[in-house]
Amino acid sequence: MLELIRKIAVERPKVLGALMIMIGGVFVISMGWWGFSAYKTGKPGVVARINGTPLYATEFSRDYEIMKNNYQRLLNGALGKKILSELNFPGLVLRNMIYRQLWLDEAHHLRLIVPDDVVIREVTKIPFFQEGTPPAFSKNLYTQFLLQTHQSAREFEQSIRQDLLVQRVQVLVRATQTPSAEPGNIANASDDPIKKRLALQEETVQSFQTQLENGASVHVDQEAFKKLSKSLL
């Protein structure tokens, strides 16, 4: 599959770019633990501001490496500099991070919360922290992970909390797209009604995301972004 991706990247980069954007939507959330990053957030160097919230260079570098590792794991092979450049991979990462912040802003606007016990339960379910037969949460593996990624339990669990907030607000948006919204179309649909509903729900999420983007204040420091992107490619 990776060879096909490489071929398309050279012959039809726009097609592959669209594919990566589509796949990238999967990683708007769950960025906190999917990859083992050595970057610590909150350091100086602002790449962009989303509704006033700063996006630090260290945060961008972290998510860039995580997202690249995700794609390589998905495609079962390395993504070279040429492919990353053809895809404008830094731009895809920046776009995902902007969307994630917009969803977080909406969650805060709706006053959604994620209790501590829910966060802890989510952490204990992460496969990387399981060992034994049957698999069970390992405090030692969790501690090793925190040491390797240079973050505290509080910082890591806050990233999980944010992921869950994004999930919750997206669930609410999907819930607005019910079968009754288009009863005729769904009842007479030739394809699977469940798939039809899921497609409508995803269209609703994308539409809402576009509304968030259109109403947002996003300022990107192009010079800082280009310099950082060049160093990561």
> Each residue of 124-172: pLDDT tens digit?
998 889 999 999 999 999 999 888 877 889 988 988 999 999 999 999 9
Please give the pLDDT value at position 117.
Answer: 94
DSSP state of 218: E
- pLDDT tens column, 186-210: 444 456 788 888 888 888 888 999 9
What is the gyration radius of the CA atoms in the chain, in angstroms?
A: 19
Please give the pLDDT value at position 7.
Answer: 53
CATH code at position 92: 1.10.4030.10
For residue 58, pLDDT beyond 70? yes
For a pLDDT cut of 90, what percent of the chain falls above it? 42
Domains contained in the chain, number: 1
User: What does the mean pLDDT of the chain come to?
Assistant: 79
Please give the pLDDT value at position 152.
Answer: 87
Q: In whole angstroms, what is the distance from residue 129 CA to residue 145 CA?
A: 8
Question: In sequence order, which residues have a C-beta less than 8 Å from that of residue 152 and are 6 or more positions away?
Answer: 146
Which carries the bigger pLDDT value, residue 52 or residue 201? 52
Please give the pLDDT value at position 161.
Answer: 93
Q: In whole angstroms, what is the distance from residue 80 CA to residue 86 CA?
A: 10
Question: In sequence order, which residues have a C-beta less than 8 Å from that of residue 182 and are 6 or more positions away?
Answer: 200
Q: What is the pTM of this model?
A: 0.76
- pLDDT tens column, 87-100: 889 999 999 999 99
User: Which residues constitute the domain of residue 54?
Assistant: 2-232
Which carries the bigger pLDDT value, residue 131 or residue 36? 131
